[in-house]
Structures are given as C-alpha cells and as structure tokens.
C-alpha cells in the first residue's frame, strides 16, 4: 500500500486530498465534461474553469495554437458567470463526491472579494483558487499578480471574507516570483499554485499573421516544465504554506519531480487535452511508480531534493 | 457524448484511395467497441507522433462495423502526415463518438459536400438507405474519394471544381438545387468558404440547412474552448446567444441560421 493522501495546511482551512493529483483550471471544464472518462471523485481535486461574477464571452478565434512541446492559448476566460455555476453546475458536481476548487477571476479587488463571498457559501466548493495570473485578458488578470501592492490588496480582501481554503495562483511572468509568493502568504493565502502560463507568441510567415487573434497568449505543456519546477522549488523554499505544482506534467515521474522539489500536490493541464483519461490514469500510475521506487508515503518524499 | 470512450485501436487496413492519393482509408479495430453513434459524429485520433506531446485530430466517422471504425483522412500537415509511416497492426489511441449528428432525412433532403467533407455522408447514406440527392465538389480527381461507398440509393452529382470557372458551376448548381428544397433540408460538410456560401444562401432563400464545421480541435470534449463558433440570437440555448459555443460538443453540426461563420 502506498499512502497518497496529502494535507494542504494545518489550520481550520486545511484541505485534505485523497491523492496529490488535481486538474488545472481551464483544462478540465467544469469536471462534468469528463465523467465518461473516469470517476472525478477519484482525483485529489478538480479545479474548475475560471469563473467571474458576470458571464464572459472570451477572445475571438483563433484562440489556441500548437507550438513545439505545448500550446499557446488566449481563450480570454470565456465562462457562464457565477450565478449559472451555482444554479446549474454545482448541484451536478455535488453528486460526484469530487473535491471541487473554484478558480476566481475578476477585474477589481471588490469583485474578487464579492466572488469569494458568494462561493464561500457553496457546500459543493471546497476551496478557492485566485487567478491573479491570466495573461490573456485586458483588465485584471495578470496585473494583480505582477503588482505587489495590488496582490497584497486582493489577497487580504479575499482571505478576510472567505470561509474556505484560499490558494493564490502565481504567474511566472514576473521578475521575482518568490517576492510575490511571500506577499500572498503574508496576506493570508492558505496555499500557492505555481504556475500559470508563460506569455508567448507564434506567427505564420506565409500569411504574415499571428497564430492567435489576441496576438499574444499563454504557453503551457511539457515545454514549460523546467520553468515550473524551478518556480515551485524556489517558492517552496521561501514560504511555509503548501505549494501546488503545475506546468507541463505528463507522467507519474513528472509528478514525483514536483513533489521532490517541494510541491504538496500537482495539477494536470495541457496533458488532459492529449488524453481525457490521463488525470485518472495518473492516480494509478503514481501508486505503481511509488511502489517501484519504494515510497510508502507521498508526504515523506516531499522536499527531499539533495 | 453519453457513450464516448477512450480506447486504443489497432489499424486493420490502411490504404491510399488510389496510387499516390493524399487521401487514405483507415480502418481501426478499437479495443473497446464504440457504441451508439450517428452520422455526423466524429472521433479524436491520436497518431502518437511524439512520445511527449502529440495532440489528437478530429475525423468524421465514415462507418462503424461490428468491431471496426473507418475514416477517410486527407493528409494536410503535422499529424496527418504520420499516416504515411503507419501500417497494419500499429496501435493508435482515440476517443469518441463525439459531437452531435445530422438530422435524419425528411422527404426532401439534399446533401452537399466539398472534398473530404464527403466522409460523414458515407455513413449518412448507408445509415438511412433512402433516396437522396448528393452534390459533391472535389478539387482532385474523383477516384480519391469514397463515392462508391455511399449507398446506391443516393444520386450523386459530382463537380470537378479545380479552377474558378468550374467552381462557379458547382456554386451555381448548389443555388439552383437548393431552391428546390425550400420545404426540405440541406445538409452540408466541407471547407469553410463552401459552408459560408451555403449558410448565406440558406438565409437568403430561407431554407433549413445544417452545416458541419471543421474548427481546429484540441480536446474534443468541450474543455479547452479552442474550437468555438459564434452563435446568433436564434440559437436555442439562450446562455449562448450572441456568444461562443464549443463546436466539439454543441456541434460540429449547426443550423445555418444559428451561427456566424
Ligand atoms: C468534426 C471534424 C471532422 C473532420 N473530419 C475529417 C475527415 O473525415 N477527414 C479529414 O481528412 N479531415 C477531417 N477533418 C479535418 C482534420 O481534422 C484536419 O485536416 C486535421 O486536423 C489536420 O491535421 P494536421 O496535423 O495534419 O494539419 P496541421 O498541421 O494542423 O495543419 C496543416 C495545414 O492544413 C490546414 N488545415 C488544417 N485543418 C484543415 C481543415 N479542416 N481543412 C483544410 N485545411 C486544414 C491548416 O490550415 C494548415 O495549413 C475534420 C475536422 C473536424 C473538426
Ligand atoms: C486552454 C487553457 C485555458 C486555461 N484557463 C485557465 C483559467 O481559466 N484559469 C487559470 O487560473 N489558469 C488557466 N490555464 C492555465 C492552467 O491552469 C495551467 O496553469 C497551465 O496551463 C500550465 O499547466 P500545463 O502545462 O499542465 O497545462 C489555462 C490553460 C490552458 C491551456
Ligand atoms: S476541442 Fe476543446 S472545447 Fe472543443
């Protein structure tokens, strides 16, 4: 038997997961899209597509381009809005016994706090993840994650009203991610999610056009794994709250690499697009790999990099 | 969607349609059988082109036997070119059946396809086995396409539209024929400019038409939001009116009046 359970935090906002495999926001829809492919209740947690107070149409097409080793996306947070989420989606999720994390997006501190207040009341939601790191929207988004004062402001306001575990999702598009991590921790974050996409671009020399209508987009997939590992390692050394690793994970070995450098749990993003059963398979593959290496408890392997 | 599954599948047949053809017929034997599908639906096929990072591509189901699924694939670029390196016995991965399907035939149903857009109509004509008229435009020779695989009850009229004047003949014929289907329905699949032309005609002539879109897809299950299509006010799901819907789950088939392309 391998004990895969992990605990994010130790106080009243502790989040217990059956295993460290989570899905990354924006790559797993609202979870219900995947019920044909596996039991979403068997995953550590699922993170929903970014949700805003009001519905958002998103960016024009094309929104996603394939690049070497990954994807470039500028979806622009198309979503139904929080009202629809609560009335139509959460009741269905409640029946799945999945651990559900809402990913929050807003244009202002006030809206972030309002969203957190509303979602705090929902029993189907187990934690909140603040997306202060989306590179694909004009207002809000990554601006919050790149400006120290704004980050402090939004995290403190949200954690003050939230009755749930709050994770802050950091962007690698900053000079010093450790500084941002500390600000989030100091202002009440219960955990940190590292990392959101890296800003990138792709062009076509024949049409002379950018491959995305938005021109720039967020880079994800296996090509960003070394960047993500480095961010997780540095942040995990600097803060005392749990870090959730995300970026390019494509195998059980990748999962253990993130845990080795200090991650408590991981999120699977782009890899799910290549195979909708992947996150479910990974839960089993992780156990197999742990047995092979002789890891009995996932938590004992964490942060043991020599 | 209800019955979609992810499975590995062995290639049991893989042949170019004729010598040197860029179009291949591929028959796969999925290790878990696909069930409850209908003409117009598609699967996502992963060519396994890279160990680390290969994204699957969408292909219309051209027929499903008791233990096989057949596709017709036009080699375009990055992923489809791997067909040339594959052979019988190789194992690929796929998921499906996905998306919605064409409406069943009414008394008057006109089928229109351009190029490899013929693929869903191979299933359609065989699934319903009723007399249907089919206008088929193609740029490369007819022998590249599975015309003989369509039901013999289908009246096929082919148009070799390899230059602008022959293309115009095809387009004019579409208009003239559609006019005879004002009480019926038009079902179409093919390149975007063709679908746009049919959409505009359907609106101008007030004819019911269903169009199968070929948006780029990454996940096929509604999660990535990379395949969306803009809807109009007439789209029935008010959540989406005047906004984007996933063509992999709400489509790939849309009523012409409901979308902007
Ligand atoms: C629902 C659905 C059903 C489809 N059914 C079939 C089918 O039955 N048979 C089939 O051959 N194809 C079908 N397609 C199109 C097929 O998915 C694409 O041709 C394929 O994804 C190209 O992949 P690639 O990696 O080879 O090309 P890429 O490297 O991605 O693209 C190479 C070049 O081909 C062009 N291209 C890409 N997609 C298309 C397209 N759809 N039409 C024309 N040019 C394109 C690109 O613009 C690019 O210039 C379908 C698409 C959809 C959405
Ligand atoms: C299509 C797409 C949509 C995304 N949408 C969101 C989102 O709504 N909110 C968010 O915080 N991150 C979003 N992300 C970022 C992912 O959650 C993840 O941080 C990133 O993709 C890196 O992980 P990966 O390499 O495993 O994909 C999105 C990523 C992709 C590819
Ligand atoms: S292909 Fe991903 S949402 Fe349609």
The CATH number given to whatever domain includes residue B113 is 3.40.50.80
Tokens 């049409």 belong to A207
Question: Which of B5, B52, B78 comes nearest A222 by C-beta?
Answer: B52
Main-chain dihedrals φ then ψ at residue B123, nearest 5 degrees: -65, -45
Ligand 3 near B226 CB (within 6 A): yes
Question: What six digits make up the tokens of B211?
Answer: 């169009």
In A143-213, at which residue ranges do the beta strands (DSSP E only) sit? Answer: 165-170, 191-194, 198-201, 203-204, 209-210
**Within a domain: B174:** yes
Whole-number Å distance, alpha carbon B215 to ligand 1 midpoint, is 8
Residues B114 and B188 in one domain: yes
Residue A250: active-site member: no
**Within a domain: B256:** yes
At B40 the pLDDT is 96
- Do residues A202 and A215 lie in contact, with contact meaning Cβ atoms separated by under 8 Å? no
Cβ of B223 under 8 Å from any chain A Cβ? yes
DSSP letter (8 states) at residue B252: S
User: Which residues in chain A come in under a pLDDT of 70?
Assistant: 135-141
SS3 content of chain B, % helix, strand, coil (to 5): 25, 35, 40
Cβ of A301 under 8 Å from any chain B Cβ? no
Question: What six digits make up the tokens of A102?
Answer: 């809402």
At B241 the pLDDT is 53
Main-chain dihedrals φ then ψ at residue B23, nearest 5 degrees: -110, 130
CA A115 – CA A117 distance, rounded (Å): 5
- Do residues B55 and A66 lie in contact, with contact meaning Cβ atoms separated by under 8 Å? yes
At B66 the pLDDT is 85
Q: Which residues of B touch A247 (CB under 8 A)?
A: none
Q: For the residues of B110-152, what is the DSSP string, one character each?
A: EEEEEGGGGHHHHHHHHHH-S-EEEEEEESS-GGGS-GGGS-T
Residues B243 and B152 in one domain: yes
A201 pairs with which residues across the strands? Answer: A216
β-pairing, B228-231 vs B208-212, is unpaired
Atom of ligand 3 nearest to the CA of B224: 2
CATH code assigned at B24: 2.40.30.10
SS3 A284: helix
CA B64 – CA B23 distance, rounded (Å): 19
Nearest CA in chain B to A212: B226
SS3 A79: strand
SS3 B102: coil
Residues B180 and B249 in one domain: yes
Q: Which residues of A touch B55 (CB under 8 A)?
A: 66, 71, 273-274
Residues B45 and B172 in one domain: no
Candidates 3.20.10.10, 3.20.20.70, 3.40.50.2000, 3.60.21.10; correct CATH number of A6-58+77-197+221-301? 3.20.20.70
* Residue B245 neighbours by CB under 8 Å, 6+ apart: B228, B229, B231, B235, B237, B251
Residues B82 and B134 in one domain: no
Q: Which residues of A touch B220 (CB under 8 A)?
A: 276
**Within a domain: B255:** yes
**Within a domain: B103:** no
At A157 the pLDDT is 96
User: Which residues in chain B come in under a pLDDT of 50?
Assistant: none
At A78 the pLDDT is 92
* Domains contained in chain B, number: 2
Main-chain dihedrals φ then ψ at residue B63, nearest 5 degrees: -170, 155
Residues B157 and B236 in one domain: yes
At B129 the pLDDT is 86
pLDDT tens digits, one per residue of A88-117? 999 999 989 999 999 999 989 999 999 999
For residue A105, how far is the Cα from the chain centroid? 12
Give the percent of chain B with pLDDT over 70. Answer: 97
Instruction: Indicate yes or no: CB of A78 within 8 angstroms of CB of B225.
Output: yes
Final residue in a domain of this structure, among B98, B121, B145: B98
At B242 the pLDDT is 59
Which of A224, A243, A218, A248 has the alpha carbon at shortest distance from A232? A243
At B181 the pLDDT is 95
For residue A304, how far is the Cα from the chain centroid? 23
Q: What domain range includes position B174?
A: 109-260
Question: What six digits make up the tokens of A114?
Answer: 């309002």
Residues B90 and B122 in one domain: no
Final residue in a domain of this structure, among B55, B79, B98: B98
Residues B220 and B121 in one domain: yes
**Within a domain: B125:** yes
Residues B240 and B117 in one domain: yes
**Within a domain: B104:** no
**Within a domain: B94:** yes
At B53 the pLDDT is 86
A113 pairs with which residues across the strands? Answer: none
Residues B126 and B252 in one domain: yes
**Within a domain: B153:** yes
Final residue in a domain of this structure, among B76, B98, B120: B98
pLDDT tens digits, one per residue of B101-135? 999 999 899 999 999 999 999 999 999 989 999 99
At B2 the pLDDT is 65
Residues B73 and B133 in one domain: no
């Amino acid at each position: 038997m391998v004990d895969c359970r992990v605990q994010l935090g130790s106080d009243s906002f502790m989040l217990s997961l059956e295993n460290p495999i989570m899905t990354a926001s924006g790559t797993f829809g609202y979870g219900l899209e995947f019920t044909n492919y596996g039991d979403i209740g068997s995953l550590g947690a699922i993170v929903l597509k970014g949700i805003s107070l009001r519905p958002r149409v998103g960016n024009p097409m094309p929104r996603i381009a394939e690049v070497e080793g990954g994807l470039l996306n500028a979806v622009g947070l198309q979503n139904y809005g929080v009202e629809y989420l609560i009335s139509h989606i959460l009741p269905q999720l409640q029946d799945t016994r999945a651990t559900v994390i809402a990913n929050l997006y807003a244009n202002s501190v006030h809206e972030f706090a309002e969203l957190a207040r509303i979602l705090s009341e929902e029993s189907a939601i187990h934690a909140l993840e603040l997306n202060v790191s989306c590179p694909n929207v004009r207002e809000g988004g990554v601006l919050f994650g790149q400006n120290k004062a704004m980050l402090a402001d939004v995290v403190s306001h949200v954690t003050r009203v939230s009755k749930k575990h709050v994770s802050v999702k950091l962007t690698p598009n900053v000079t010093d991610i450790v500084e941002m991590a500390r600000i989030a921790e100091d202002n009440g974050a219960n955990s940190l999610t590292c990392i959101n996409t890296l800003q990138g671009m792709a062009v076509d020399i024949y049409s002379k056009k950018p491959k995305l209508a938005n021109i720039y987009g967020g880079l994800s997939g296996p090509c960003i794994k070394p960047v993500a590992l480095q961010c997780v390692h540095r942040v995990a050394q600097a803060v005392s709250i749990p870090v959730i690793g995300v970026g390019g994970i494509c195998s059980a070995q990748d999962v253990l690499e993130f845990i080795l450098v200090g991650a408590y749990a991981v999120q699977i993003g782009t890899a799910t697009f290549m195979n909708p059963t992947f996150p479910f398979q990974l839960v089993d593959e992780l156990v197999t790999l742990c047995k092979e290496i002789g890891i009995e408890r996932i938590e004992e392997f964490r942060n043991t990099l020599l | 969607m209800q019955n979609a599954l992810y499975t590995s599948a062995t290639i049991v047949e893989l042949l170019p349609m004729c010598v040197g053809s860029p179009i291949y017929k591929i028959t796969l034997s999925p290790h878990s059988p696909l069930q409850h599908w209908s003409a117009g639906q598609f699967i996502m096929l992963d060519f396994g082109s890279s160990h680390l990072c290969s994204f699957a591509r969408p292909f219309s189901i051209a027929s499903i036997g008791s233990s096989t699924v057949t596709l017709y694939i036009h080699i375009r670029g990055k992923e489809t070119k791997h067909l040339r390196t594959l052979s019988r016995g190789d194992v690929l991965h796929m998921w499906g059946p996905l998306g919605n399907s064409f409406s069943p035939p009414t008394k008057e149903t006109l089928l229109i396809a351009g190029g490899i857009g013929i693929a869903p109509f191979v299933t359609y004509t065989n699934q319903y086995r009723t007399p249907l008229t089919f206008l088929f435009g193609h740029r490369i020779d007819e022998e590249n396409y599975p015309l003989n695989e369509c039901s013999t009850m289908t009246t096929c009229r082919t148009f070799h539209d390899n230059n602008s004047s022959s293309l115009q003949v095809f387009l004019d014929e579409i208009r003239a024929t559609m006019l005879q289907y004002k009480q019926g329905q038009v079902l179409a699949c093919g390149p975007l400019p063709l679908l746009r032309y049919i959409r505009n005609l359907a609106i101008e002539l007030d004819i019911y038409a269903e169009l199968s879109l070929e948006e780029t897809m990454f996940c096929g299950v509604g999660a990535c939001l990379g395949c969306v299509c803009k809807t109009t006010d007439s789209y029935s799901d008010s959540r989406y009116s005047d906004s984007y819907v996933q063509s992999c789950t709400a489509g790939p088939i849309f009523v012409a009046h409901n979308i902007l392309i």
